[in-house]
Amino acid sequence: MKLHCGKFELPLDRPLVMGIVNLTPDSFSGDGLGASAERAIAHAQAQIAAGADLLDLGAESSRPGAIPTSLEDELRRLLPVLEALSDCGLPISVDTYKPEVMRAALAAGASMINDIYGLRMPGALEAVASSDCAVCLMHMQGEPLTMQQQPVYADVVAEVGAFLRERVAAAQVAGVARERLVLDPGFCFGKTLAHNLSLLKHLPELAIDGLPLLAGLSRKSMLGHVTGREVGDRLAGSLAAALMALEGGARILRVHDVAATRDALAVWSATHAAA
């Protein structure tokens, strides 16, 4: 299995680590990069040195309760960092749901679009269809401002699966080849702890059409609920969750702590390769 990702062909026979590079002033995760492009670029270089396979740049906060970012602010935060990293040798993903940002990011060298709305904004399908970037289609119930207030599902695994199936069909109708698609259940995006744990437990059921799964669990509130730890103290929980996701078939791990995740992945891979 391979992921077509702009000028890159990413082999998926071993899982990949996607390093998070946060460009928002109000990141929940406590990485505190603030609005400084220099610090963000240095952080990205550190993620590369730690063994990231790809990077995910996000310039709009999507944490629960977040107020939407204007197009101008998002582009102002994103483009200098994206341009500085455009020939770093790794594919750069951009975490955005705005079609205008997608187009600008692709023009500036992004190889992947990671959309928490799963290309549901008007114009988003068209913005990616004409390029050859990879696309991550993520499930979210509601929108960041209110999504954690009262998430409701009759059957969370079936409903997330049906949503992803529908978005895969929409992407393919718009001309996005399946080799470009990655699916993500969207942990903590309009989900209670019980919903999140069900999705993690039943992850293999969400590999619609055999498409690769991305899991974003790093430092998330669900790990805080399980462990009682604050966001800066969730590394052990994040690694345990990453291993659960790997066991469930995840092919891309979206993480803050690249070096530690690489070690966990090395132990997992070595064990699977054993006689």
Give the whole-angstrom CA distance, residue 109 versus residue 115. 17
Residue placing its CB nearer to ligand 7PJ in the complex, 167 or 254: 254
Report in angstroms how near the CB of residue 273 gets to ligand 7PJ at its nearest.
28
Report in angstroms how near the CB of residue 115 gets to ligand 7PJ at its nearest.
8
Give the whole-angstrom CA distance, residue 98 versus residue 102. 6
Give the whole-angstrom CA distance, residue 240 versus residue 223. 10
Q: Give yes or no: 63 in active site.
A: no
Q: Give yes or no: 234 in active site.
A: no
Give the whole-angstrom CA distance, residue 208 versus residue 162. 9
Give the whole-angstrom CA distance, residue 269 versus residue 254. 17
Give the whole-angstrom CA distance, residue 214 versus residue 191. 17
Phi-psi region of 89 (alpha: psi -120 to 50; beta: other; left: phi over 0): left
**Stretches 38-46, 161-169, 181-189, 241-249: which one binds ligand 7PJ (CB under 6 A)?**
181-189
Q: Which of 112, 125, 138, 246 binds ligand 7PJ (CB under 6 A)?
A: 138
Task: Count residues near ligand 7PJ (CB under 6 A).
Answer: 16
Which residue's Cβ has the minimum distance to ligand 7PJ? 216
Residue 214 in contact with ligand 7PJ, rule: CB under 6 A: yes
Residue 79 has φ and ψ, to the nearest 5°, of -60, -40
Identified catalytic residue from 98, 167, 219, 220: 220
Mark 118-137 with x for binding to ligand 7PJ (rule: CB under 6 A) and - for no binding: ------------------x-
**Stretches 105-113, 125-133, 198-206, 214-222: which one binds ligand 7PJ (CB under 6 A)?**
214-222
**Stretches 43-51, 67-75, 105-113, 179-187: which one binds ligand 7PJ (CB under 6 A)?**
179-187
Give the list of residues 6+ apart from residue 179 with CB closer than 8 angstroms, or none.
Answer: 2, 3, 4
Phi-psi region of 51 (alpha: psi -120 to 50; beta: other; left: phi over 0): left
Q: Catalog residues that contact ligand 7PJ under the rule CB under 6 A.
A: 20, 29, 62-63, 95, 114, 116, 136, 138, 184, 186-187, 214, 216, 220, 254
